[in-house]
Structure 1
Amino acid sequence: MMRVSTSQFYQFSTNNMGRLQSDVTKQTEYLSTGKQVLTAKDAPVGNLSLLGFKEELMSIERFNKNITQAESRNNRQEVALSNAQDILLQVKDIVIQANNGSYSEEEFTSLSQQLNSSLDQLLDVGNTKSESGEYIFAGYQTQQRPFSIAPDNSVSYSGDNGQSDLQIAQNIYVPINQAGDDVFMQVDNIVGDFMPTYTDNLTTPVDDIDPEEPDIYVERAVIVDRETYNGAGMTPGFQFDFADDGFGGIDVTVTDANGAGAAVYGPAAYTSGQTIAFNGMEVNIDGNPLPGDQFTLNEQDKVSIYDTLKDAIDWVDAAGTNLSDPKQHQVDYNHIITQLDEAFSHITNQRAEVGTTLKTIDTQRNIALDTEVLVNSSRGKIEDLDFAEAISVFEQQKLSLQAAQQTFSQIQGLSLFNFI
């Protein structure tokens, strides 16, 4: 029979109660946190998966913040572009109203004031700010007001063509701004690669001019062969002059702006609607010019929306005066209306791009939500506590500890004197 010394008994009892107390404490932590894995030793293999799940959840949270910011910025762009569309429709309506020869000077003045107000409104659209006070149409120069207007109603752009992106998923980036240059200053020129400037007829007597006959109108002016055009060594600023051919017809001659006076085309017979081709260029002219009529083509394949509004204001202002060339004024009207339509289409395309971005953001938000649910479910299977089972274990451990404490208390008080 083995003898147990008092010191051994105390040591054994202390160790046993300490272990049981540690088990109870640990089980209490499980119950208080609702987790069954608190340290790596609780589930050495599962803990690696938990670390991966937690990292993925943190990534989803970070991307969700970016999703919220990206959505806010793109919503502001969408609203701004919608306002721009409304303004362009108003401008077109005013210009159409102004194409009325019976209006008084006061009525033309009122329409001009409305157009000036529309220009100011469109300027405000271009200078729209985000919720954090940054200009959304300034490219990378978000702290600098992008659009400013001069006394002559010309508008300049001081931003750049940068576009900032925000990451909303592992491999998905979406734009959160648009360069104002692309949105408002780069509308396709309806004529093509050149902008015509018409000169009033100065040589033909007024009595010889048929008021019902259309004046010159450039329908199309494009560079069809860039290599040939560049190789010709011409200086842009092509002047088209129309002259009597001596046989009742009209000749057209084209010279460039190099000052040498040599023609780059013609003189050749002019026919309304013909295509004039030379040195990689093609120009389609309509109308019936008179001897002495002329116009100039300068390279310009893009047109600012603000310039189109300025042209509309100038046209209405001129309409309220005694016009020197009513026919050419009508040609200018057709050009402005068509360029306004092109500007509206351009803004529509820009708005469609924002809509596509918003759709991408919405789709990614749904994917993130689904992924978060899936990851939390997988994490829960490893980490979450089965409370019913945990409470049962806790009660058993507590009873074991209480029994050990009671046993120790009773045995440590025993003495031979108790039996004498």
Structure 2
Amino acid sequence: MSDRLSTYWIYQRPVNDMLQLQTNLNKTQEQISSGKRILTPADDPVGASRVLQLNQEIALMDQYERNITLLDARLEQEEGVLSAVEDSVARIRELAVQAGNAGVLTEEDRIAIAAEVRERVDEMVDLMNTKDGSGEFLFSGFSGNTQPFVKNPGGGYGYAGDEGVRFLQVSQTITLASSDSGKDVFMDIPADEISFTSYANTENTGNPPGVISAGITIDQQALDAFYPEDAVITFENPLDIDPPEQNFTVRRKSDGRVLGGLENVRFTPGAPIQVGGVAVNISGNPDPGDQFVIESSRNQGVLTTFEKFLFTLENYPPGEGFDEVYDANIEQTLNNLDNTIANVSQVRARIGARLNTSESVVNQHADNKLAAKDIKSSIEDLDFAEAVSRLQMESFILQAAQQSFAQTSRLSLFDFI
């Protein structure tokens, strides 16, 4: 017995088949226009997953490359600043050599050298407070918006930054320092011999404020014996002496013991105060309770070296009974300048090593990214020759189906009545 076909089936089945053929044709056309074989994850679940993974890897390498660009820019700027610092220190050393030749040094020469040293101090402070391209200070550690080197109202320069070092990740396993602490570069420099720094208490209230000089070492053996103690110069009540007058007492910081009999000493602005093998001057108008600190140390910052050299030139000139002290401090200045150049050179060497590493890493990223893109292309990119052939085949099949349907749809008795 023959099977009977319903009119619905005769019409709907061919229509469904033609719709599917049209869908396939449209998809092939979309693949050709986009150049991609995988349009949705359903086209190739495994391939789509691999492409997603490769896209993430490429995006991560792009981020690493951006980090390296930032790192290189910052390090190259820092290296340029340190090169200028070395030039400035080298010039100060030339001046110190000239000043050390006391036999031919004239008064005019000494004054001219002191004037240039003063200018070089300002130049050095400007270099040490350099900002990067984003407006942050290069040498302030994590405190990028804080000026690292600030002139204290009471004399000398203080470091207001921190000791933090910023790092940038340049690969999955490598992080490189993008900065150096100003304290490490310019402050923690080994001194030729035991040295000292002098500064005023930030809570002093004198008006005009009392200012302490950089000072000078007048007896190295005494300073060696005094180390590691510190001295505090405290201004006392004027009524403590008769007649009432500004006076000060020098005490050891660790236990408050009076040093060298310097108790209630009448204050003469600009007169030397000698304690523990060093001499400093205090000027201005300190109030009772104002304090000034002399801190012994094995390190000496570059600005302290400059200021002590300047202090020596201006206050202990040769030929006026200070020849031995003058010569000793010129020698220390030269040695400390050499130590400064050595320290800065070490920092520059570290910067060079980081730049070399970043160059190697960025080349590695370029190779890895190229390989990842090749793999990604082999997975998701379309074979145009195959796709065009398939498009022609699908178009031919669709046309045949449409013509076949047109023929079979007219096989009805009603067409022959």
The TM-score bracket by the shorter chain reads: 0.7 to 0.9
1:37 paired residue number: 38
Whole-angstrom distance in 2 between the partners of 1:172 and 1:147: 31
Of 256, 273, 277, which aligns to 1:295? 277
Of 126, 145, 148, which aligns to 1:146? 148
Whole-angstrom distance in 2 between the partners of 1:236 and 1:311: 18
In the TM superposition, what are the counterparts of 1:175-254 in structure 2 within 5 Å? 175-191=177-193, 198-199=217-218
2:28 paired residue number: 27
| Post-superposition offset of 1:218 | 5.7
Pairwise CA RMSD: 3.2
SS at match of 2:364: helix
Q: Once structures 1 and 2 are overlaid, which stretch shifts more, 328-337 or 41-50?
A: 41-50
CA contact (8 A) 2:165 2:181 kept: yes
In the superposition, relative to structure 1, how do residues 382 and 194 fare at CA in structure 2: closer, same or farther (>3 Å)?
Answer: same
Whole-angstrom distance in 2 between the partners of 1:219 and 1:351: 36
Q: Once structures 1 and 2 are overlaid, which stretch shifts more, 82-91 or 322-331?
A: 322-331
| Post-superposition offset of 1:44 | 2.6
CA contact (8 A) 1:186 1:302 kept: yes
CA-to-aligned-CA distance 1:195-223 (integer Å, 9 cap, x gap)? 99644xxxxxxxxxxxxxxxx76699599
SS at match of 1:300: strand
Whole-angstrom distance in 1 between the partners of 2:222 and 2:170: 46
Of 297, 309, 313, which aligns to 1:312? 309
Structure 1 runs of 4+ with >6 Å offset: 193-196
CA contact (8 A) 1:35 1:385 kept: yes
Of 375, 378, 383, which aligns to 1:381? 378
2:346 paired residue number: 349
Task: Specify the code of the residue in structure 1 equivalent to 2:69.
Answer: T
In the TM superposition, what are the counterparts of 1:373-412 in structure 2 within 5 Å? 373-412=370-409
| Post-superposition offset of 1:19 | 0.4
Whole-angstrom distance in 1 between the partners of 2:319 and 2:223: 30
Task: Specify the code of the residue in structure 2 equivalent to 1:334.
Answer: E
Task: Specify the code of the residue in structure 2 equivalent to 1:120.
Answer: D
| Post-superposition offset of 1:151 | 6.8
CA contact (8 A) 2:161 2:182 kept: yes
2:51 paired residue number: 50
Whole-angstrom distance in 1 between the partners of 2:124 and 2:365: 37
In the superposition, relative to structure 1, how do residues 348 and 415 fare at CA in structure 2: closer, same or farther (>3 Å)?
Answer: same
- Does 2:317 correspond to 1:335? no
Task: Specify the code of the residue in structure 2 equivalent to 1:388.
Answer: A
Whole-angstrom distance in 2 between the partners of 1:153 and 1:310: 10
Q: Once structures 1 and 2 are overlaid, which stretch shifts more, 40-49 or 295-304?
A: 295-304
Task: Specify the code of the residue in structure 1 equivalent to 2:396.
Answer: L
CA-to-aligned-CA distance 1:4-27 (integer Å, 9 cap, x gap)? 443222211211111011101111
CA contact (8 A) 1:119 1:306 kept: yes
Provide TM-score, normalisation by structure 2: 0.74
In the superposition, relative to structure 1, how do residues 173 and 46 fare at CA in structure 2: closer, same or farther (>3 Å)?
Answer: same
Whole-angstrom distance in 2 between the partners of 1:369 and 1:14: 52
Task: Specify the code of the residue in structure 2 equivalent to 1:19.
Answer: Q
- Does 2:162 correspond to 1:165? no
Task: Specify the code of the residue in structure 2 equivalent to 1:339.
Answer: N
| Post-superposition offset of 1:313 | 1.8
CA-to-aligned-CA distance 1:342-390 (integer Å, 9 cap, x gap)? 0000001111111111122111111111111121222222222111111
In the superposition, relative to structure 1, how do residues 99 and 192 fare at CA in structure 2: closer, same or farther (>3 Å)?
Answer: closer
In the superposition, relative to structure 1, how do residues 409 and 105 fare at CA in structure 2: closer, same or farther (>3 Å)?
Answer: farther
CA-to-aligned-CA distance 1:319-357 (integer Å, 9 cap, x gap)? 667532112211111000000000000001111111111
Task: Specify the code of the residue in structure 1 equivalent to 2:117.
Answer: L
| Post-superposition offset of 1:109 | 2.4
CA-to-aligned-CA distance 1:260-300 (integer Å, 9 cap, x gap)? 999xxxxxxxxxxxxxxxxxxxxxxxxxxxxxxx9369630
Whole-angstrom distance in 1 between the partners of 2:229 and 2:90: 38
Whole-angstrom distance in 1 between the partners of 2:105 and 2:54: 73
| Post-superposition offset of 1:107 | 3.0
| Post-superposition offset of 1:28 | 1.8
Q: For structure 2, which runs of at least 5 residues remain unmatched after alignment?
A: 198-214, 232-250, 261-275, 279-293
In the superposition, relative to structure 1, how do residues 260 and 123 fare at CA in structure 2: closer, same or farther (>3 Å)?
Answer: closer
Task: Specify the code of the residue in structure 2 equivalent to 1:129.
Answer: K
CA-to-aligned-CA distance 1:377-410 (integer Å, 9 cap, x gap)? 2222222211111111111112222222333345
Whole-angstrom distance in 1 between the partners of 2:20 and 2:277: 102
SS at match of 2:130: coil
In the superposition, relative to structure 1, how do residues 98 and 193 fare at CA in structure 2: closer, same or farther (>3 Å)?
Answer: closer
SS at match of 1:159: coil
In the superposition, relative to structure 1, how do residues 93 and 319 fare at CA in structure 2: closer, same or farther (>3 Å)?
Answer: farther
Whole-angstrom distance in 2 between the partners of 1:220 and 1:155: 22
SS at match of 2:193: coil
Q: For structure 1, which runs of at least 5 residues remain unmatched after alignment?
A: 200-215, 224-228, 238-255, 263-293
| Post-superposition offset of 1:99 | 2.7
In the superposition, relative to structure 1, how do residues 131 and 105 fare at CA in structure 2: closer, same or farther (>3 Å)?
Answer: same
1:368 paired residue number: 365
- Paired residues, what number? 347
CA contact (8 A) 1:137 1:146 kept: yes
SS at match of 1:137: coil
CA contact (8 A) 2:129 2:148 kept: yes
Q: Once structures 1 and 2 are overlaid, which stretch shifts more, 106-115 or 146-155?
A: 146-155
Q: Once structures 1 and 2 are overlaid, which stretch shifts more, 347-356 or 3-12?
A: 3-12
Whole-angstrom distance in 1 between the partners of 2:403 and 2:310: 101
2:320 paired residue number: 323
